[in-house]
Chains A and B, each alone.
Chain A
Amino acid sequence: MTYSQEQISELIPLYVDGNLSGQELDEFEKFLLKHPEIEEEVDAYIAMQEMYSEMREQLPEPSAELFQKIEKRIFPNEPKAIKASFYQKIQVFFKSIFQVPQIGWGLAAVQAIAIALLLNSGMPTSEQSIRTLSNSESSQVSANQINIIFHSDAMEKDIRELLLELNATIVRGPTTEGLYVIATASKLESESLLNQLRNSAIVVFAEQSL
């Protein structure tokens, strides 16, 4: 099929946008070779589209002030508009911010970083999270280890005082059943230690660990 000059002119937008294919594209390109003046038309179209594309980026934001004038024009007998409440001003402010894509993406990036930091910080995610009294530093396994279970309503402060009194530290635990393993410095103290632990009001179970 051979195209007329007018038809070719109408195909220019499709050609520039890459929407011509197959036979149409071949015919167009053949015509372009035979009629170099069409190339000038193509270049002018591209220049125009680039100019319009730049203009689209510069389109103005809706003017709140002008809208008030419009409302005054439409409702002239209405009492003077109540000043925008603080909440409305905040809404307008955030609306204007989020209409700028770069700010929106920037805020999203900041929030993503904040979320990642929070998740990695080890903060508890629920009120029922267990905070243990375990020594955070890795410690050598002591020869004298005791399995111990505290009362469910035992206060952390009381447990800490008891361990301090007995010169003991928690090396493992608690398990889901509330079992801790504590360690003392000397084997000699283990019997009296066990007795003291069993006599404590906050201890439910205490046995030498195997």
Chain B
Amino acid sequence: MGTMTICHCCPFFEPFLLNLALMNTNTTEEPDARLMQEIVNRDRQAFQRLYDLSYPRLRFFLLRMLKDPSMVDDVLVETYAAVWKSAKNYRGKAKVTTWIFGIARNLAHKELSKLRPHDDIDNFPNLSNNTTPEPESSNRNQLVRMAMDKISEKHREVLDLAFFHDLTYPEISDLLVIPVNTVKTRIFHAKKAFEESLRRMRIYKNDL
């Protein structure tokens, strides 16, 4: 939402209207190409605005990948430094968020490969065939999160991108550098894996 025009005719009402304007401000606004242009022009306030807009979801994205908060901080610093340096390379084909996620993902994979140099990041173990003991937590969403954590990283990532970050199939395709049909197939299998995980955790319909 845009900002409200504050009526200056009555000073009594101005703070009240200002509060309403601030409450109505959309804090999940998507950074746009115009903001990127200001960053290209070395506008540091624009850069901070981009940081404020993108930080929450980017941190969430990296935390899901890396698990380690201090590693996430390091990658975030490198990501935003790269955004500042290569802002002129942003062509406007993808959303700004998708572009930043791409930079962050590549940097995160580099960090992970340092830790596990011989592993292929996309082939983390799938769900085991052993029956998982019934979870102790009674919180429904916690149980669902546990079920989500048990599926492969590849599947979890694509579910996060599609259903949490609300990226479209083409955007996910650009980000993961895979064809759109592969995205569709991966999401299909990811959902199946998630359902299986819920079933194995013995989270039945009446628990949901």
Q: Once the chains are docked, how many angstroms separate the CA of A108 from the CA of B188?
A: 46
Q: Which chain B residues lie closer than 8 Å to A69 at the CB level?
A: 73, 77
B27: chain A residues at CB < 8 Å are 99
Q: By the criterion CB–CB under 8 Å, are A115 and B208 in contact?
A: no
B99 within 8 A of A: no
Is B164 in the interface zone, CB < 8 Å from A? Answer: yes
A98 interfacial contact with B, CB 8 Å: yes
Give CA–CA (A47, B142) in the complex, Å.
11
Judge whether B76 and A48 touch: CB under 8 Å: no
Q: A62-B52, A66-B77, A70-B77 are in contact. Are A48 and B19 (CB under 8 A)?
A: no
Please provide the chain A residues from 76 to 133 with a CB less than 8 Å away from any CB of chain B in the complex: 98-99, 101, 104-105, 107-108, 111-112, 115, 118-119
A45-87 interface with B by 8 A CB criterion: 45-52, 54-56, 59-63, 66-67, 69-70, 73-74
Q: Is the CB of A48 within 8 A of B159?
A: yes
Task: Decide: B208 and A62 in contact? CB cutoff 8 A.
Answer: no
Given A51-B148, A70-B51, A74-B81, the answer on whether A108 and B23 have CB atoms closer than 8 Å is yes
Could you say which of B54-62, B116-124, B128-136 contacts chain A?
Answer: B54-62
Contact A60 B55 (CB under 8 A): yes
Our pick among A54, A105, A118 for the contact of B12 (Cβ within 8 Å) is: A118
Complex Cα–Cα for A74 and B86 (A): 12
Q: Are B208 and A63 in contact (CB under 8 A)?
A: no
Interface core residue of B23, B51, B84, B145 (most chain A CB under 10 Å)? B23
Asked whether B60 lies within 8 Å of A55 as measured between CB atoms, the reply is yes
| Contact partners of A115 in chain B: CB under 8 A | 12-13, 16
Given contacts A47-B208, A98-B23, contact A73 B77 (CB under 8 A): yes
Q: Are A44 and B191 in contact (CB under 8 A)?
A: yes
Minimum CB–CB distance for B147 against chain A, Å: 8
* Cβ of B101 under 8 Å from chain A: no
Contact assessment for A48 and B81 in the assembled complex, using a CB-CB cutoff below 8 Å: no
| In the assembled complex, A43 has its CB within 8 A of some CB on chain B | yes
For chain B residues 157-208, which have a beta carbon within 8 Å of chain A?
Answer: 159, 163-164, 188, 191, 194-195, 198-199, 203, 205, 208
- Are the C-beta atoms of A105 and B23 separated by less than 8 Å? yes
Which residue among B84, B144, B188 has the maximum number of chain A CB atoms within 10 Å of its CB?
Answer: B144
- Chain B: number of interface residues, binned into ranges: 35 or more
Residue A41 is within 8 A (CB to CB) of chain B in the complex: yes
What residues on A are CB-neighbors of B22 within 8 Å? 98, 104
Contact call A70/B80, Cβ cutoff below 8 A: yes
Is A177 an interface residue when CB atoms closer than 8 A count as contact?
Answer: no
- Taken together as a complex, chains A and B put the C-alpha atoms of A10 and B26 apart, in Å, by 30
Q: Point out the residues of chain B lying under 8 angstroms from A101, CB to CB.
A: 23
The answer to whether A67 and B195 touch (CB under 8 A), given A43-B208, A51-B141, is no
Q: List 7 A-B contacts (CB under 8 A).
A: A44-B191, A50-B144, A62-B56, A70-B51, A73-B81, A104-B22, A111-B16
Binding site for B on A (CB under 8 A): 6, 9, 39-41, 43-52, 54-56, 59-63, 66-67, 69-70, 73-74, 98-99, 101, 104-105, 107-108, 111-112, 115, 118-119
Further contacts, 15 of them, CB under 8 A, given A44-B191, A111-B15: A6-B188, A9-B191, A40-B195, A41-B191, A43-B205, A48-B194, A50-B144, A52-B164, A59-B56, A62-B55, A63-B55, A73-B77, A74-B84, A108-B16, A112-B16
**Hey, which bits of chain B sit against chain A, CB under 8 A?**
12-13, 15-16, 19-20, 22-23, 27, 48, 51-52, 55-57, 59-60, 73, 76-78, 80-81, 84-85, 140-141, 144-145, 148, 159, 163-164, 188, 191, 194-195, 198-199, 203, 205, 208
